[in-house]
Amino acid sequence: MNFDNVVNKKLGYYQVFDSTNPTAYGSKTQALLHATRANTWIEWNFNQEVFAGLDWTQEPTESLEELYRQRAQQLRDSYDYLVLNYSGGSDSKNILDICLKHNIQIDEILVRWPRKASENIYTPNGYDYVPENVYSEWDLVILPDLKWIASQHPEIKISVYDYTPDVEGFYQDEEWITKVIGDHLNPAQMGRFSMGMTQHRRVLDRGYRIAHVFGVDKPRVAHENGKYYAFFLDTVANLGSMPFDETVDNNNVQELFYWTPDFPKVVIKQAHIIANFFKAHPMFLHLIPKGFVPYSSRTAYEMIIKSLIYPTWDPTRFQAPKPSSVFFCEYDEWFFNSFKDTKAMQVWDSGLKYATSHIDAKHFNINRHNQAHGFVGCVSPHFEIF
C-alpha cells in the first residue's frame, strides 16, 4: 500500500483496493476518484490497529475528569506549543475548562471565524434556532468567552483568524478539491482550517513542535440486538481536517483530543457512561441514531450526552443546530452571499462539479432536489461495550 498521499495516519486514511496500484489517501475525494476509475472500493482506517486490539468491555476505573486531565497533560508533555482550536461548543469548552482547572498551560486559543464577510448578513439573536443563525454564536458565546479569558488568563495568547480576506487565494483552480484532506468540500473548509498562519510559522522557525488541538468528538454509540457498541464515523473525524499545507510536518500537527489512539481510555470511558445511561433509561433508546449519523438527527442525542460527559457544560449557552448539508452548508452563507459571481465562487463550483461528475453516484448522499450534497459516511468496526 502506497502511503505517500497520507499526511497523518493518526487522523485516519482511505485505502483503495486497486490490484494494480493499491494506494492510501488522506483525502476522501482523491480516494473515491481513484476507486471510480479502477472500479473498486475504499475502506476507511481510523487507527484500527489500536482500537481493534482493546477490550472495550472494560470500563476504565478512573473518573472521566481525571482521564481528561491525563490526556491534556499528555499533550502538554508532548509538544512545545499548544493551540486550542476554539469554537465555544461543548467539545472545545470542556478542554479549556479542564486545562484551566488543573493548571495545564495552553499557549494559544485560536478562533477561526468569517468576521468580515459575515458582519452585515445577520443580527445577533439567541432565539432563532436555525443553522443559518450560527453567526450569533460569535456575539453570544465566543466573544464573551474570549473577553473573560483575556481578563482572567492574560498569559494565554488569543488569536482570531478571519479567513475571508484569503478566500480568493484558496480558490485558484478546481484542483482545490485534491487539497482537502478529509471529505468536506464546503466553501469554508479550505480557509477555516488552513494551518499556515504567520505567528505559527515564527514558532516553527524557533524549532518548536506545535499541536493544533481539536475537540473531536463525542462517541458514537449503537444499540443492536440488545448490545451496545461504540464506533467512529469519518465525516465527524474529518470535521477539523486541515487542507494540505507546506507547513504540515512532524513539527506542526493536528491532534484530536478525544478520538485518539494515544489515550483511548477517554473515548472508552465516555462510551460506557453513555451506554449505561441508555441501559438505565430504555425509554430514550429511540434517540440513539441508527447506522450513519446525519447532522440533522444529532440534536436530541447530543443534548443528552453533553450533560453526561461534559460536567461543566452549560445547556443554556446558545448553539445553532447542525447544518443539513455538507457541500452546501448553511454555515457558509457568508460565502454564498459575499462571493457571488466572483472567481472564487466559480472555481469552488467548478471543483465541486468535477468531483460529483467523476465519482460514482453511489458514494453521495442525495437531497430532495436530486442534488449530491455530501459523501456517504464510512464507519469503523463496531466495538462491543456490553
Domain boundary assignment for the chain: 2-384
Phi, psi for 104 (deg, rounded to 5): -100, 115
pLDDT, residue 303, reads 86
Judge contact between 214 and 256, C-beta under 8 A.
yes
Judge contact between 365 and 375, C-beta under 8 A.
yes
Using the structure block, give the residue that is written with the C-alpha cell 499548544. 82
Count of Cβ atoms closer than 10 Å to residue 161 Cβ: 19
Alpha carbons 376 and 234: distance in angstroms, whole number? 10
Tell me how far CA of residue 77 lies from CA of 71, 72, 80, 104, 251, in angstroms.
10, 9, 8, 10, 14
- Determine how β-strand 220-224 pairs with β-strand 108-112: unpaired
4 Rama sector, left if φ>0, alpha if ψ -120 to 50, beta otherwise: alpha
User: DSSP 3-state assignment of 248?
Assistant: coil
User: DSSP 3-state assignment of 39?
Assistant: coil
**In the chain, at which residue ranges do the beta strands (DSSP E only) sit?**
2-5, 13-16, 23-25, 42-45, 81-85, 108-112, 157-161, 210-214, 220-224, 227-231, 252-256, 364-366, 372-375, 383-384
Alpha carbons 180 and 326: distance in angstroms, whole number? 13
The three cell numbers of residue 6 are: 497520507
- Determine how β-strand 23-25 pairs with β-strand 13-16: antiparallel
pLDDT, residue 240, reads 64
pTM for the model stands at 0.93
Question: Consecutive 10-residue runs of the chain (386 residues): their mean pLDDT?
Answer: 86 94 93 96 97 98 98 97 95 98 97 91 92 95 98 97 86 87 83 65 79 93 95 88 54 88 98 98 89 57 92 92 88 91 94 96 92 94 98
pLDDT, residue 7, reads 80
The three cell numbers of residue 307 are: 450533560
- Determine how β-strand 383-384 pairs with β-strand 227-231: antiparallel
pLDDT, residue 246, reads 46
Alpha carbons 277 and 270: distance in angstroms, whole number? 11
Q: How many helices (H) and strands (E) does the chain have?
A: 15, 14
The three cell numbers of residue 252 are: 506542526
